[in-house]
Copies of this chain bind each other. A is one copy, B any other.
Amino acid sequence: MPDFHATPIFPQGFRCASRNVGLKPSAKDLTLFASDVDCAAAAVFTRNHFPGAPILLGRETIRGGVLRAVIANSKVSNVATGEEGVARARRMAQAAATELGTSADRILVSSTGVIGVPLPIEKIEGGVIGMAGELQRDPLVGAEGIMTTDTHPKALSLSVGDATITWVAKGSGMIEPNMATMLCYVFTDAALDAATLDALLRDAVDASFNQLTVDGDTSTSDTCAILANGLAGDVPLDEFRAALLAGCLRITEILARDGEGATRLLRVGVRGAASVREARIIAKAIANSPLIKTMVHGADPNVGRILMAIGKCIDCTIRPDATDAWVNGFQVVRGGARLAFDDAVVRTALATEVVDLDVVLGVGDGEARAFGCDLTKGYIDENAAYYSS
């Protein structure tokens, strides 16, 4: 595991700014990330059938493989807004391009927040004016402007040789990404071409964000993009690949721990599955189960639920008599049967901020991990009045 910087920094040539432009009452709601020079770039987007207008535009923009900047707003997601929504996403790209002195086809646009509400584009067009003069080097400043129900801004960085990789992300609810998570931007000064970035990003996302679930609901705005401006020159590809994956995994854990209402990070490991695909399905079924999530919340030693969650994956190969399970390293299931144990010991084992559930299936060599959180009353509070608050 590479060492992340104690305080996240940007790679050479990247800066950001964020402002309140009136979408939220007072918190920051608009962020601009910019490189001094054009970047090779790749991105993955949600597979939801109702992608937001920024996704429709982003798929078009990323085809060129070149980006200079990202503009992203919170509070309103510009989803389910029809043709007018796409027109407003284009106006948002143009506003950022004008401010930065580049062209709109080099601007990636993201919007996150309530679905189905018109984007207040005039506030964004007016609000972005002057932001080029405020660009600065702290990635957390940019992270602030894209928060919705997140309880803290999320950024991370590490070094790969002379280069730096920096992640800025947001996400808390409506999270079971399918191709990418809510919003995550990866910036690097390593020199890599767009095709290489695309392949590296897809692999890293498959093992990290696509194994993340807060509530099983796939957002219409999921976007993960990587921008490489090359200012640090070449880096060893294997080292870059490992670092990219490590950072994506760590951001995945950070997003899971900050899931809406969450008090615990849930990590599920599955080994011995028939294939990686089946291991991923089973790991996510466990991480997604409301009964597992409430068990983790209450540190209730109701570990039979682990078998229930494995067993409901009816299209996977399971050998009940070969199935073992552990809670934070303490074995609770052997050969498909719950072991006799002291409830107090398992209760104590469960009562930690990070809960690891590990399963060995004894079927094949497939391994996977999934990342989630507990299910609490805080989730209900946040989502029974999200639109109205």
Residues of A within 8 A of B (CB): 47-51, 77, 79-82, 85, 114-117, 173-174, 176, 178, 215-220, 288-291, 294-295, 297-298, 300-305, 307-314, 316, 318, 320, 323, 333, 335-338, 343, 375-377, 379-380, 383-388
Contact = CB atoms under 8 A, between A and B. Distances in A.
Nearest to A292: B217
Copies in the complex: 2
Contacts of A174: 291, 305, 308
A140 to B, nearest CB: 28
B383 A294 contact: yes
Interface of A is mostly: loop
A72 B383 CA distance: 38
B294 A384 contact: yes
Contacts of A303: 116
A49 B362 CA distance: 14
8 contacts: A48-B312, A80-B304, A116-B304, A216-B216, A294-B384, A295-B383, A300-B388, A375-B380
A137 B376 CA distance: 43
A85 B100 CA distance: 70
A364 to B, nearest CB: 15
Contact of A387 (B290, B300, B316): B300
Given A115-B302, A117-B338, A307 B79 contact: yes
Contacts of A298: 383-385, 388
B116 A307 contact: yes
A297 B49 contact: no
A303 to B, nearest CB: 7
A176 B173 CA distance: 22
Given A217-B309, A218-B311, A384-B295, A114 B302 contact: yes
Nearest to A214: B290
A141 to B, nearest CB: 29
Contacts of A116: 303-304, 307, 333, 337-338
Given A80-B307, A220-B308, A290-B379, 10 more contacts: A50-B308, A50-B311, A116-B307, A173-B291, A174-B308, A217-B309, A290-B290, A300-B385, A301-B387, A375-B380
